[in-house]
Amino acid sequence: MSVIEMTTLAPARRTHRVPPPVTATELELIVRMADVMFKGGLTPVSVKRSEGVAALILVGRDVGLSPTQSVANIMIVNGRSTIWGDAVPGLVIASGLLEERKEWYEGTEGEDDYTAVCMLKRVGEQPRETRFSFGDAKKANLWGKKGPWTEYPARQAMWRARSWCYRDTFPDVLCGLIFAEEAMDIPEPSGRVTVSQVQPDAVAAIEASAKEKVASIEKLTEYRDDKEHVLGPTESQRERLMELRGALFVEKGATTEEEQDAAWAEALAPYKVASAKQMTQAQIVELIETLGKRNDPFTHPPASPTPAT
């Protein structure tokens, strides 16, 4: 037995993070970001529309990938979301749930008993091993297929062993994603494998809904005539401030309540007030314009914004 990879990590205390629901503000940022990435040529050639980029970002978001990592590592194969195998170990290590991993080969190289073995140990659980041999590949009609199974059969066998082991040991981390390397070997009922990264109709509908919401908010932002005397934001202004406040927290990297309070206080400092309720209409108009210019589509989409006070 020759071990080709071994990692031993100290037991972690961190638990896997469940992503919050996508907000309208976050979706709008994702759509804008996807459009920039598509027009900038930062997407695979199989992506034909920016909506396809947004779909990849949304899938990657659920497993903790950044937008650029999502576009590079998520693929739609036969209508199912998949992830390239190279990205999986990083996700699992980052989750803090991996204690040990090993990969090795057993048997006689080139023979049916030549077997790829992957062992993973999750914190607090018994080790799990999965195996995939050249004989298994022949039974599955993978042996001799044009492409990687002909050129790199040992590595392909390891991809299969690794895929099963990671999926069985860390289902909560992968959220149902299978390895792209495995999915591409699974034909459609017609016998034809299709690789696509565009599911435009559903995403286009979501995009239209998000844009409609933002447009309606901007349309409803009517400022009062007595701007120097009336204090506090209108309802539509308050909604807009909530969105801009969320974007500000992302820009500042403010994740705790204390950090968010400090970031918002800094934004209000030029007006010498502690709350937007103490600002005149003229000041609120100026604040919305100032924060709006700082709303950068390249930043990570914000979490659900907290109401302005």
- 183-215 tens-digit pLDDT: 888 776 554 555 554 445 555 665 565 566 555
Q: Does one domain contain both 39 and 83?
A: yes
Does residue 163 sit in the same domain as residue 268? no
- Reply yes or no on whether the pLDDT at 233 is more than 90: no
108 versus 301: the higher-pLDDT residue is 108
Q: Are residues 139 and 235 in the same domain?
A: no
CA 56 to chain centre: 8
pTM over 0.75: no
* 185 and 226 together in one domain: no
Name the residue type at position 296: D
Q: Over range 120-143, report the average pLDDT.
A: 94
The reply to whether 213 falls in a domain is: no
Q: What is the pLDDT of residue 229?
A: 54
- Greater confidence (112 vs 230) lies with 112
pLDDT of residue 69: 92
pLDDT for the residue 114: 96
Q: Are residues 232 and 186 in the same domain?
A: no
**In the prediction, which pLDDT does 41 show?**
87
Q: Are residues 146 and 287 in the same domain?
A: no
Residues 153 and 284 in one domain: no
Q: Is residue 215 part of a domain?
A: no
Rounded to whole angstroms, the Cα distance separating 13 from 120 reads 18
Least confident range from 93-107, 144-158, 261-275, 290-304: namely 290-304
The whole-number average pLDDT for the span 62-89 is 89
Range in 22-26, 151-155, 293-297 with the lowest mean pLDDT? 293-297
174 shares its domain with 31: yes
Q: What are phi and psi of 152, to 5 degrees?
A: -135, 65
Residue 179 and residue 260 share a domain: no
Domain annotation covers residue 211: no
Q: What is the pLDDT of residues 7-56, one digit of tens each?
A: 666 444 455 566 778 888 889 999 999 999 998 888 887 788 899 999 99
Query: Is 107 contained in some domain?
Result: yes
Of 127, 161, 196, which residue constitutes the final position of a domain? 196
Residue 153 confidence (pLDDT): 92
What pLDDT, on the 0 to 100 scale, is given for residue 303?
A: 46
58 Rama class: left (phi>0) / alpha (psi -120 to 50) / beta: alpha
Judgement on whether residues 62 and 187 belong to the same structural domain of the protein: yes
Tell me whether residue 203 is in a domain: no
Separation of alpha carbons 127 and 271, rounded Å: 60
Whether pLDDT at 236 is above 90:
no
**Within a domain: residue 49?**
yes
Does a structural domain hold residue 51? yes
> Number of folded domains in the chain?
2
Q: Take residue 9 and report the two structure tokens written for it.
A: 């990590």
- Which residues constitute the domain of residue 155? 2-196
What CA–CA distances, in Å, run from 55 to 62, 143, 269?
11, 33, 39
The string over 224-243, giving b where at least 16 C-beta atoms fall within 10 Å of a residue's C-beta and e elsewhere, is eeeeeebeebbebbbbbbbb
Same domain, yes or no: 79 and 145: yes
Same-domain pairing of 113 and 44: yes
Beta-carbon contacts of residue 154 (< 8 Å; ≥ 6 apart) = 105, 109, 114, 116
More confident residue, 159 or 228: 159
Question: Of how many residues is the chain composed?
Answer: 309
Does a structural domain hold residue 7? yes
